[in-house]
Amino acid sequence: MTFTQLCYPVFEKAIEDFHLLDDVDQDINNPYERGTIEYDLYVKNWIDTVQWHLEDIIRDPHIDPADALVIKRRIDKSNQDRTDLVERIDSYFLSLYDTVKVLPDATINTESPAWAVDRLSILALKIYHMKEQVERPDATDEHRQKCEQKLKVLMEQQKDLSTAIDQLIDDIAAGRKYMKVYKQMKMYNDPSTNPVLYGKK
């Protein structure tokens, strides 16, 4: 089993579980054992799924500005939680392949495995919601047909991205590529580097 064959069903499970209640305030009920990669992948996609719906809510043109600010702050925290999870998943890969002998001509990839997996998680959400549009009973035939074409593109993208991720992981395992992980260092979340925050002191 490849890594994407392991993780994609976990993403689909998280999305399906969320939509049982379809409520951004519901509690997560992670079915996987804490400490496993599946547990972290489920949390990762749950964060993405909740944020997807928060992004929908905040675009309501009639939303109360005070409510919008609360949601914006939730989205900011969600983005930080998402980054933390990606870095934790990269730590899993670093630990898994820490004894691999890197070949002399090994190259580095433009992104780490976990950031590629992050894109796959978002893609699973796009596919789920585009399928919803294809099956919308109140939509016009034209709308459904357009969404069906978009869905085909997303499905092709999912196949290509999965292949690329699995190839990257195979290359790391064989020493043909090596990992270097740079922490995101988001300055706007840090009271010591955001001038608006440290200027308040």
Q: What is the pTM of this model?
A: 0.91
In the chain, alpha helices (H): 3-21, 37-58, 65-96, 113-134, 141-174, 195-198
Contact 118, 78 (CB under 8 A): no
When pLDDT is cut at 50, 70 and 90, the band that residue 182 belongs to is: confident
Would you state the structure tokens that stand for residue 154, as one six-digit string?
Answer: 């997303």
Q: Which residues of 74-95 are buried (b: 16+ CB within 10 A; e: fewer)?
A: bbeebeebbbebbbebbeebbe
Question: What is the per-residue pLDDT across 78-104, written as a single tens digit (0 to 9) for each?
Answer: 999 999 999 999 999 999 999 999 999
- Average pLDDT of the segment spanning 18-25: 98
- Average pLDDT of the segment spanning 142-167: 98
pLDDT of 184:
65
pLDDT of 192:
76
The least confident of 13-27, 156-170, 173-187 is 173-187
- Average pLDDT of the segment spanning 122-126: 98
Contact 48, 77 (CB under 8 A): no
